Chain A
Amino acid sequence: MERNLMKGNEALAEAAIRAGCKCFFGYPITPQTEISAYMAKRMPKVGGVFLQAESEIAAINMVYGCASSGIRCMTSSSSPGISLKSEGVSYIAGSDLPCVIINVMRGGPGLGGIQPSQSDYWQATRALGHGDFQVLVYAPSSVQEMADYVTKAFDMADKFRMPALILADGLLGQMMEPVTFADGEIKMSDASGKPWATCGHGNKRPHNIINSLYLQAEELEQHNIERFKRYELVKAECPEAESYLTDDADIVVAAYGSTARLARSAVDTARSRGIKAGLVRPITLWPFPDKQIKAACANAKRVLVTEMSMGQMVDDIKLAIECRLPVSFFGRTGGVIPKPSEILAQIVTLDEELKGE
């Protein structure tokens, strides 16, 4: 297979098209605009739709409509734009529709900055909108994974009839790396296999209704209970994590996305200095890979969480290891990228602590 050198944003867009994403609704914002630009160029050539909406809110509501018809569709934005989309995401989740949403995170809150950040973790995993719902959250860590996980996001969104989010950041979006795509013709999706879709039926079946409004409390409660039963299946099937040198590690670093790359470099340097360090990298942020995290920390004495935020994943790590180990945190925020040497310094400090015990 040919290795292409592509930006993360472009590789993700190409992979989405190859996954059968027929409609893309976007609105420009740094650092994800290359997704829109790529879709604008490619979609008309492959029989798909690229539409630049008048706002992020319009774009997510176009996704709502398109997803109702059973067609694979997507929108992308960066942090402030994702906040604008949150109402629409809640409606889509309330209507039990599949779609894919991309967040190439930048520093926040507010308009924030345009440099890479991971400060939307809580938003992605806890409250991408109001109401009783979750979205599947994938956190790729390379350009190849930007492509691979958008494909998976479409598949899982369809399987469980729920929105799936790719939580990337400006570093992953802007960097270029080699990426390969599976061979095969591009086939645009339709409503096949989706008996719930509102796609026209020529009076051959009762009509479908897509809706998130239930004025009878018991009826709404029942829909929510059904949805959460489905989430149990998601929790059983979807959690993913990668462990690196954790078997004999005294110190396990926990990091996701691009920060996991920086942490991996720090772990390698620590190992070269004789410090038993390892790395565990959650790939799904919801459902959180509790079992994998717990297994990776089984022989550890200290856990260091590192993120490009003020420490939003720390609680999930503590829960995953049932608070059995001391957990410390190191992060940079606001768009500042932590240096591997800074993460290494934290590992060295923990190692000295352990030696002193």
Chain B
Amino acid sequence: MNNENRENREIILAGFGGQGILFAGKMLAYFGLLGGREVSWLPSYGPEMRGGTANCSVCISDKPIGSPLVTEPNILIVMNNPSYDKFINAVAPDGLAIVDSSLVGARSDRKDINCVYVPATQMADENGLRGMANIILVGMLIKETGIASAEIIRKALEKIIPAAKKHLVESNMKAIELGMNS
């Protein structure tokens, strides 16, 4: 995938604290930033982050972003049951929902959205990428939407992974490829 698709994106990522929800959101924001676009990233903050649910809103657009708070996402990435219940019906018609089916048992009966189920947590464990289910889901998002080119993906990873943890760039790349090829 070498040309990124420049549609407007209003994304919600949601799951448990500790699954890397905010990090995955940051990665998406960097895809937009490095593509020369307007972006915003808004985390939930507060008591829910301590072992409870965490979510964040990411907007990517060619125009100045109004509300950074996403209430009707055209993309949803969801990594636990409470978040699935909370957000699946908020997805805008024709939107995309990417669900970690290792952790979410439910299947949506909505016919007006594209639901993709990826056993990301299981895939991460089986491939020696424990804790990178979030990145596998980002890989699936790239496959479904063409949101970032290969060049931008690598640049974004190099930007957000601190120099001291440089070795993680390759494992993150591997996780993204796993998602893109699933």
Contact = CB atoms under 8 A, between A and B. Distances in A.
Interface string B4-42: 000000000000000000000010011001000011111
Given A262-B66, A265-B67, A174 B39 contact: no
Contacts of A327: none
Tell which of B38, B43, B69 has the most Cβ of chain A within 10 Å: B69
Nearest to A269: B66
Contact of A178 (B38, B45, B66, B71): B38
Given A30-B45, A115-B46, A177 B67 contact: no
Contacts of A337: 69
A261 interface: yes
Contact of B46 (A114, A176, A339): A114
A176 B26 contact: yes
A171 interface: yes
A56 interface: no
Nearest to A262: B67
Contacts of A261: 65-68
B39 A5 contact: yes
Interface string A265-298: 1001000000000000000000000000000000
Contacts, number: 61
A171 B68 contact: yes
A186 B65 CA distance: 31
Contacts of A341: 71-72
Given A339-B71, A340-B71, A176 B41 contact: yes
Nearest to A268: B66
Contacts of A177: 39-41, 65, 68
Interface string B61-85: 0000111110110000000000000
Contact of B41 (A175, A262, A268): A175
Interface string A335-346: 001011100000
B41 A5 contact: yes
Q: Interface size class for chain B? A: 10 to 19
Given A3-B33, A5-B33, A174 B66 contact: no
Contacts of A268: 66
A334 interface: no
A288 to B, nearest CB: 24
Interface residues of A, number: 23
Nearest to B45: A174
A31 interface: yes
A174 B71 contact: no
Contacts of A258: 68
B29 A175 contact: no
A171 B67 CA distance: 11
Interface in A103-159: 114-115
A264 B61 CA distance: 15
Q: Which of A30, A176, A261, A340 has most B Cβ within 10 Å?
A: A176
Max chain A CB contacts within 10 Å: which of B26, B38, B40? B40
A258 B42 CA distance: 12
Contacts of A262: 66-67, 69
B42 A174 contact: yes
B42 A175 contact: yes
Contacts of A3: 33
B45 A170 contact: yes
Contacts of B41: 5, 175-177
A180 to B, nearest CB: 12
B66 A5 contact: no
A5 B46 contact: no
A178 B39 contact: yes
25 contacts: A3-B33, A5-B30, A5-B33, A30-B45, A30-B46, A114-B45, A114-B46, A170-B45, A171-B68, A174-B43, A174-B45, A175-B40, A176-B39, A177-B41, A177-B65, A178-B33, A178-B38, A258-B68, A262-B66, A264-B67, A337-B69, A339-B69, A340-B67, A340-B71, A341-B72
Interface of B: 26, 29-30, 33, 38-43, 45-46, 65-69, 71-72
Given A5-B41, A175-B41, A261-B68, 12 more contacts: A5-B33, A31-B45, A171-B42, A176-B26, A176-B29, A178-B38, A258-B68, A261-B66, A262-B67, A265-B67, A340-B69, A341-B72
